[in-house]
Amino acid sequence: MNSSRQKLLPFFTFITGLLCPCAGRAAESASPILPAQLASRLATLQEDGSSYVRLRMQINGATQDTFQLQIKSRRTAGSSEIVYQVLWPVPQKGEAVLLRQTANHAPTGVTFNTKDGVRPLRDLKEPLLGSDLACADVIENFFAWKEQAILGGEDLAGVKCQILESKPGKGDHSIYGSVRSWIDAQRLVPMRVEKYSTSGQMVRRIDTTRVVTDGAKHIPADLVVHGQRGETSTVLAGSRIKHDVAYTNTDFSEDGLRELGAPHGGE
């Protein structure tokens, strides 16, 4: 395994739908890119097979709460399975969320804690482990939706971006009515993602605050999430990622939520 692939957490592995590894490459030509082409490249990058991630999540509000998480995922064009588990602090250790989605079906999920055991997620709008993310944010791949359009361009933090608007079409399932992404098309890095309700109200904004270079790849290293609550924000920073991890089906089962061990070689 190339150790350079384990250094940092690509952008949407934990947020995406936070959730897609958007380590980019330069645009292949100077000609304008079509919205379907841009979305397809980003969607394909999200379908990155099996991976293991260590992540720090800081929730800023009236108090500041910091969590260390591990994330196990299996993503293909036809299905996605993701497990988030709290490693620290001790009072929340073992809390977990399991999310699944297959093509043309709405995502489903369960949560686990040692007090209440396993319970179904009633609504994927529920906050992910108390953060400003919804559970839906880390499972859906909005770049794979059927309706994609480029709304224009805008400089964002000194970076020239194309604004890609994604809308769920027939057969797509989402808690959102549309998503707008400010894409640095030269590096294939989303610098900002805004998610809107069906009534057009902005529900959530995700900003990339730091991009690092790993060889020829450009990787968002730090993210800030602002949700509807307004008085809080969530900072996400990945510390390690391992690809091509050997998982079993138990890792993505209700029984597997009770196990905190990393996969072989995942530490």
CATH of the domain at 184: 2.50.20.10
Scanning the structure block, which residue is given the tokens 């992404």? 181
In a domain, 133, yes or no: yes
Instruction: Give residue 220's pLDDT.
Output: 73
Give whole-number Cα distances, 26 to 114, 153, 172, in Å: 47, 18, 30
For residue 104, is it within any domain? yes
Residue 266 domain-assigned (yes or no): no
Number of domains observed in the structure of the chain: 1
pLDDT at 28: 45
Q: 223 to each of 199, 234, 251, 253, how far by Cα in Å?
A: 26, 8, 27, 29
Given a cut of 50, whether residue 152 has pLDDT beyond it is yes
pLDDT score of 267 more than 80: no
Q: Report the number of secondary-structure helices (H) and strands (E) in the chain.
A: 1, 13
189-203: pLDDT as tens digits = 899 999 999 999 999
Report the DSSP beta bridge partners of residue 51. Answer: 73, 243
Classify residue 220: in a domain, yes or no.
yes
Whether 265 is covered by a domain: the verdict is: no
Q: Which domain holds residue 214?
A: 3-258
Question: Is residue 124's pLDDT more than 50?
Answer: yes
The verdict on residue 264 lying in a domain is: no
In a domain, 125, yes or no: yes
Assess if residue 42 is contained within a domain: yes
